[in-house]
C-alpha cells in the first residue's frame, strides 16, 4: 500500500465497513431459527415495561432448558403478561407458554419445507450482504479515482490501490459465502 494518509484512511474505512457487513450478516443469521433453542432469536424483541419499550434481555434471564426449549425468567413477575404479549407480537413463529413464574418457548422440529424456506431466506440475506460489500468497494474506488483526478495519486498508485480494494472485497465475499454455507448446512441438518 502507498504511504499516503488519505489512502490509508480510505482503506481503514473500507476494512471497517466490510467487517461490519460480515458481523451484521452473522447477527442476522443468529436470529434465524434452526429448530434448536437459540437465545439470540429473542435479541431484537422489545417489551413494553414501566411505560417504555425495553429489550427482553434487560427484564429477565433467558436460558436454554434443553435442545428445543428456551425459558424466560423475568426478574419482576408482574411483567409476565407484557413479555408474553411481546413474544406473540414478534413473528418468531413460536407460541409462548406462561406458567405464572416463567415463560417457556418450545421450538417445534422443522419440516423439510420450512427448512427449504429458511435456506432461501439465508441465501437472500447473504446476497444482500454481498451487495453491501460491493457498494463499499464502489465508494472506495470512487475515492481513489477522485484522488487520481486531483493528481494526488499517479496512474500506477491508483491501479495498485484498486487491486488492493478488489482483493479486500473478494476476501469479504468469500467469508460471506462461507458463513452462508455453514448456516445452510445447520438448517438442513436434522
> What is the separation of C-alpha 95 from the centre of its chain, rounded to a whole number of angstroms?
24
How far is it, in rounded angstroms, from Cα 21 to Cα 171?
A: 12
Q: What are the residue boundaries of the structural domains of the chain, listed by start?
A: 5-31+111-188, 39-106
pLDDT of amino acid 186: 84
Q: Rounded to two decimals, what is the model's pTM?
A: 0.71
* Residues of the chain above pLDDT 90, percent: 39
How far is it, in rounded angstroms, from Cα 84 to Cα 117?
A: 26
CATH no. for 39-106:
3.30.1360.40
pLDDT of amino acid 3: 64
Q: What are phi and psi of 59, to 5 degrees?
A: -105, -5
Query: What cell does 91 get?
Result: 413473528
pLDDT of amino acid 27: 86
Which of the 8 DSSP states describes residue 107? P
CB atoms within 10 A of CB 10: 22
Q: Is the pLDDT of residue 64 over 90?
A: no
**Residue 1 confidence class, pLDDT cut points 50, 70, 90:** low
5-31+111-188 CATH choice from 2.60.40.2250, 1.10.132.20, 3.40.50.720, 2.115.10.20: 1.10.132.20
Amino acid at each position: 500500500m502507498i504511504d499516503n494518509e488519505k489512502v490509508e484512511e480510505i482503506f481503514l474505512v473500507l476494512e471497517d465497513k466490510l467487517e461490519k457487513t460480515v458481523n451484521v450478516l452473522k447477527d442476522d443469521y443468529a436470529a434465524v431459527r434452526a429448530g434448536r433453542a437459540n437465545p439470540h432469536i429473542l435479541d431484537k424483541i422489545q417489551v413494553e415495561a414501566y411505560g417504555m419499550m425495553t429489550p427482553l434481555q434487560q427484564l429477565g434471564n433467558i436460558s436454554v432448558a434443553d435442545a428445543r426449549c428456551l425459558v424466560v425468567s423475568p426478574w419482576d413477575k408482574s411483567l409476565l403478561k407484557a413479555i408474553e404479549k411481546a413474544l406473540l407480537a414478534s413473528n418468531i413463529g413460536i407460541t409462548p407458554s406462561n406458567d405464572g413464574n416463567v415463560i417457556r418457548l418450545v421450538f417445534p422440529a422443522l419440516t423439510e419445507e420450512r427448512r427449504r424456506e429458511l435456506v432461501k431466506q439465508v441465501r437472500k440475506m447473504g446476497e444482500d450482504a454481498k451487495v453491501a460489500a460491493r457498494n463499499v468497494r464502489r465508494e472506495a474506488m470512487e475515492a481513489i479515482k477522485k484522488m487520481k483526478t486531483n493528481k494526488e495519486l499517479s496512474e500506477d498508485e491508483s491501479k495498485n490501490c484498486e487491486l488492493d480494494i478488489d482483493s479486500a472485497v473478494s476476501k469479504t465475499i468469500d467469508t460471506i459465502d462461507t458463513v452462508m454455507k455453514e448456516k445452510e448446512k445447520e438448517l438442513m441438518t436434522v
